[in-house]
Amino acid sequence: MQDFSLIIPTLNEADNIGSLLERISAMTEQSALTPEIIFVDDGSKDGTCEQIAAYSGPLNVRIIQREDERGLTGAVVTGARAANSDLVVVMDADASHPPEEIPRLLAPLITNSYDMVIGSRYIGGGQTPGWPLTRRIASRIASFPASCITGVRDPLAGFFAVRKQYLTAIDHDLSGFKVGLEVIATAADGFRVMEVPIIFADRMQGSSKMNIPILATYLRQLSRLTFGQLNRSAIPLLTTLALLAGLFDAFCFNLATNLGFDLDLSNVSSFLLTAVLYFSLSKLLASNAEKPISLLPYISICMMLLFLRGGFLSLPSLQTIHLPLFATLFCIFSGLSLVPAILLSRKRKGKDAINWPLLGSLLISYTVVLRLVYMGNIELIQEEAYYWNYAQHLAPGYLDHPPMVALLIHLGTLLFGDTEFGVRSGAFFCWFITAFFSYRLAETIFDRRTGFMVLILVAVLPVFFGVAMVITPDAPLIACWSGALFFLYRALIDQKKNSWYVAGIFLGLGMTSKYTIALLGPAIFLFLLFDKPSRQWLKRREPYLTALLALLIFSPVIWWNFQHDWASFLFQSKGRLEGSARFDLPELLASILVLITPTGFLAVLAVIKPGSLLHHMIGSTIANNRVRRSHAFALTMTLLPLLVFILVSLSRQVKLNWTGPLWLALLPFMAHTMYRSRTPRQLFPSSWQGTLMVFVLVYGALLHYCALGLPGLSYGNSRNFLLGWDDLATQVDTTIAAINQAEGKRPLVAGLDHYRLASGLAFYRSKHHDAVTRDEIVNETTAGQFFGRNSLMYTYWHPPTLAASKDILVISQSKERLSTERLGRHARQLGDIGEFTVTKKGKKAGRYYYRLLTWYSPDTTNDAVGSFSLPGTGKRYTAKAEVSPSLTEKDSML
């Protein structure tokens, strides 16, 4: 016979006591368990204590009455301290928890396989019959933050078995709402938790104890477990100081701006001066009982606040409101934000000095808000402007990419106008898709805590932060890749046949985003061959119908290529392999370090390296066959596509962004290196903490620089961001208006490069115009294909022959390219070379040159140079100037 103690807290449960004891008695008769039943009552007024005292059955029942104490956690801890057995089961008295499941809860503890076993409503087999949809949603929402802290799916469960020592160790705060949550969240590293499904039945007698005070107690408990125990007596003083600091900040900021200092210098100097003053006063006035303030976390949080404030100060709406008033209000707000900066910088005690729930929540929310604030304040990069021109020429395909990025930009600009925010809104949306499916994959393989860690990585790793900030084909590609991985996992590992079809939808949508996702096809086939449980699918229809579904979604792109001599397919295959051979493997490795950080790269090696400590841990400690298969699935979906890029890099140039989506499959395993309890080395958790904070600060600094500037730094001639191009567009329009007035006709505008000048000018010249004027500007703005350069889709949109006999205002970043030797044969007359000096926020942001070409002629009969080809297409186009380098050598992100 196995003894255990059964603790049942009660408060006005007289109607349920008799039937509950009968069910417990029946359970003991059918099992080899002997319970000691301890009722802990918190002042019931309905005769509950009398019912328990009157019990005369075979069970060993006793009651502890608490007259002056209240709280579920305190009641359970009181019962545990009075328990005689090392094994303790906790359950409610309202008959919602099935006593028949107690043997299943105790079995893993008896064999010492786990330290705690939860009767869970939310794992497979768990049910909550009779609950309305609203209650289910509310319960899920309430449990989600606790799940992220603990990693279990039902952290608020009141039915669990645990060793007595973990309950009696709770001595700091006995007013918590859920004692199981308290045990898991405060246990030391290595605490083993298991969930078994139960059917949770609503109470038949009595009334629920849930009310507003109970909810408030839960929120306080959640706050304490996340932020730590706060010294409430210090908060009024800190808040008063912060308010005064905000006013001081506002005074310094407005003084600096009134004295003529630039906005960036005013913002940085006033805030940093205030932050130093506030830190000094807080430290001076702190009591000896308070934990000391850690300087490095305080500095980090202050810098995060500074960069976020810079984003708000750079909002375009500031141009229409009173800046000093807005700045004053925001200075006061940021001053008050120094209160949590101080509180969160207090040193933590205990084994795990990294508070991942707090740090992760801060990083995730901060990066989302940072992108949201800045994405409309910073000029487009050249690729974004080029893809915006895609959206002005909607088609089922384009030379260099499928059409998904054009559709996203088209929808975004319909909703938010032809603005930077409108262009980038699709990327912002795609990030949430990526985050959702990455979380779900990690949760499905492991638990919610791992899913939360994956959310941190998706928020901060450069590859994911970048594609969420700027709109490129990689944004929808990564979103579709994450969705495809999740449903492929459900199909292959969990044997869910309908998941095949959803995976096919994501694969098809991914193909319309970027062809790279086709590399998952061989990886899927390889896994089907070598994973024995998955081979059955080779004989079933679902994988083949999935492939057909993906092709059906992709078919418009195929049709476009058929109509254009397979131009895009050739460009992205044969065209990428053309040109001189070069060994680019070091560049590939460097790009991986940039995309996932050096710490992420080491984590990948730890996960995939045979015989590594983490590999052995996954194979044994958390082990089962499902996790081993999950590991094989992740490696296959990552390494096979990576092998393709490695082979290409041995003889051809590779691009920075190529390997970006590959790491999605490994994220759940990389997240394990963030735990101290799941990696024997202390290196990884500390390295991750430092890496993530450094990169978040780098993002903030870069965005602040691009939007507002940084003191002492000039903009220079940016080659990627089109900084100051609102100013350039205004100068170009002024020049065109002058030419129109003098000559009686408007010239075309041609940027003498691949596509940067044409794309940027088309967007910024039409940004503040109506649709009709926008179309006119787009149609009169073109690129260097008129003069022999490879200008990608501009060769299709604006063939050189259509510009015959027209005047062209040619613009270049190089004065030499406007020389008479290069342009003279294309014109009857050339004007003088002029100059555009571009500024942003009063700082020089670039210099461009222009020249008016009268009566353009694409005729090349007098030119011995003559023609160029688009890589891989086999097509040749005739023009008169220099032939640009192959696109496979020149382009940046395409």
Task: Give dist(CA 190, CA 115) in Å, integer.
Answer: 9
Torsion over CA: 620, 623, 624, 626 (sign)? negative
In this prediction, residues 491-513 reach a mean pLDDT of 97
Structure confidence at residue 332 (pLDDT): 66
Q: What average pLDDT score do residues 257-283 get? A: 84
Distances (CA, A) of 883 to 119, 757, 791, 880: 71, 18, 11, 9
Backbone φ and ψ for 46, nearest 5 degrees, come out as: -110, 10
Angle at CA 459, nearest 5°, toward 457 and 464? 85
Can you tell me whether residue 251 is helix, strand or coil?
A: helix
Most confident of 195-209, 482-496, 848-862: 482-496
Residue 321: per-residue pLDDT: 56
Can you tell me the distance from the alpha carbon of 581 to that of 888, in angstroms, rounded to the nearest whole number? 11
Rounded to 10 degrees, the C-alpha dihedral 472/478/483/487 comes to 140
Q: What is the pLDDT of residues 518-536, one digit of tens each?
A: 999 999 999 999 999 999 9
Ranges 108-112, 449-453, 654-658, 663-667, most confident: 663-667
Q: What is the share, in percent, of the chain residues with pLDDT greater than 90?
A: 46
In this predicted model, which residue has the larger pLDDT, 613 or 261? 261
> Could you read off the pLDDT of 448-488 as tens digits, one per residue?
888 999 999 999 999 999 999 999 999 999 999 999 999 99
Range with the poorest average pLDDT among 254-263, 323-332, 754-763, 800-809? 323-332
What is this structure's pTM?
Answer: 0.83
How many C-alpha atoms does 118 have within 13 Å on its Cβ side?
24
Where do we find the tokens 């933050």?
145
E strand residue ranges, 703-832: 748-751, 781-782, 808-812, 829-830
| Predicted confidence (pLDDT) at residue 349 exceeds the cutoff of 50 | no
Residue 674: burial class (beta carbons within 10 Å; 0-12, 13-18, 19+): buried
Decide yes or no: CATH 3.90.550.10 for domain 2-227. yes
Question: How much is the pLDDT for 205?
Answer: 52
Average pLDDT over residues 237-250: 77
pLDDT-based confidence at residue 358 (cuts at 50, 70, 90): confident
**Worst-scoring range by mean pLDDT, 23-32, 517-526, 691-700?**
23-32
The pLDDT of residue 343 is 58
| The pLDDT of residue 786 is above 50 | yes
Q: Which helix (H) or strand (E) holds 687?
A: helix 683-707
Mapping DSSP to helix (H, G, I), strand (E, B) and coil, where does residue 160 land?
strand
Give CA–CA dist 424/408, Å, rounded. 9
Are the CB atoms for 804 and 857 separated by under 8 Å? yes
CB contact at 8 A, 82 and 7: no
Cα(187)–Cα(115) distance, rounded to whole angstroms?
10
Most confident of the following: 16-25, 313-322, 348-357: 16-25
Of 104-113, 365-374, 697-706, least confident by mean pLDDT is 104-113
Strand 87-90 with 116-120, pairing: unpaired
pLDDT at 713: 85
Min mean pLDDT across 212-216, 337-341, 810-814 is at 337-341
Q: Are 570 and 873 in contact (CB under 8 A)?
A: yes
Round to whole Å and give the CA distance between 420 and 707: 12
Confidence of residue 197 (pLDDT cuts 50, 70, 90): very high
* pLDDT on residue 881: 36
Q: Any idea of the CA torsion for 658, 661, 665, 671, to the nearest 10 degrees?
A: 100
- pLDDT single digits (tens) 283-299: 776 655 455 567 788 88
State pLDDT tens for residues 547-599: 999 999 999 999 999 999 999 998 888 777 776 778 889 999 999 999 999 99
Taking only the tens place, the pLDDT of each residue in 45-87 is 888 898 898 888 888 999 998 877 767 788 899 999 999 999 9
Domain ranges of the chain: 2-227, 232-357, 379-681, 725-890
Q: In this predicted structure, which of 129-133, 174-178, 278-282, 869-873 has the lowest mean pLDDT? A: 869-873
The per-residue pLDDT for range 225-239, each reduced to its tens digit, is 766 655 566 667 767
**Whole-angstrom Cα distance, residue 336 to residue 357?**
23
Return the closest-CA partner of residue 163 out of 5, 352, 350, 1.
5
Q: Residue 232's closest CA among 173, 307, 164?
A: 173
Indicate whether 353 pLDDT > 50: yes
Q: How far apart are CA 168 and CA 183, in angstroms?
A: 10
* Under 8 Å between Cβ of 511 and 554: yes
pLDDT of residue 293: 63
Residue 306 CB partners (closer than 8 Å, separation 6+): 267, 268, 271, 272, 275, 700, 704
Band the pLDDT of 862: cuts 50, 70, 90.
very low
Average model confidence (pLDDT) across the chain: 84
Residue 669 has pLDDT above 50, yes or no: yes
- pLDDT over threshold 60, residue 650: yes
Mean local confidence (pLDDT), 428-447: 95
Using alpha carbons, select from 499, 776, 466 the residue that is nearest to residue 591: 466
CA angle 641, 643, 644 (to 5 degrees): 65
User: What pLDDT score does 685 carry?
Assistant: 76
Q: Cα angle at 249 between 247 and 253, to 5 degrees?
A: 120
Q: What is the pLDDT of residue 872?
A: 52
- Where on the phi/psi map is residue 206: left (φ > 0), alpha (ψ -120 to 50), or beta? left
**Of 135, 130, 134, nearest in space to 210 by CA:** 135
**Alpha-carbon distances, residue 386 vs 381, 429, 665, 697 (angstroms):** 9, 20, 31, 29
- pLDDT band for 330, please (50, 70, 90 cuts): low
CA–CA distance, 464 with 480 (Å, rounded to integer): 13
pLDDT (0 to 100) of residue 233: 60
What burial letters (b/e) apply to 699-735, b meaning 16+ CB within 10 Å?
A: bbebbbbbbbbbeeeebeebeebbbbbbbbbebbbeb
Helical spans, DSSP H, in 446-498: 448-460, 462-469, 474-492
User: What are phi and psi for residue 321, nearest 5 degrees?
Assistant: -125, 175
Give residue-wise pLDDT tens across range 4-25. Answer: 999 999 888 888 888 889 999 9
Task: Reply yes or no on whether the pLDDT at 885 is more than 50.
Answer: no
DSSP per residue, 171-230: -S----S-HHHHHHHHSPTT--EEEEE-BPPPPSSS-----HHHHHHHHHHHHHHHH---
The CB density around residue 545, as the number of other CB atoms within 10 Å, is 13
Q: CB pairs under 8 A, 24+ apart, for 651-654?
A: 651/581, 651/582, 651/583, 652/576, 652/577, 652/579, 652/581, 652/582, 652/584, 652/888, 653/579, 653/582, 653/584, 653/587, 653/888, 653/889, 654/584, 654/587, 654/588, 654/591
The pLDDT-based confidence of 616 (bands split at 50, 70, 90) is: very low
Q: Comparing C-alpha atoms, which of 828, 792, 794, 789 is closest to residue 808?
A: 828
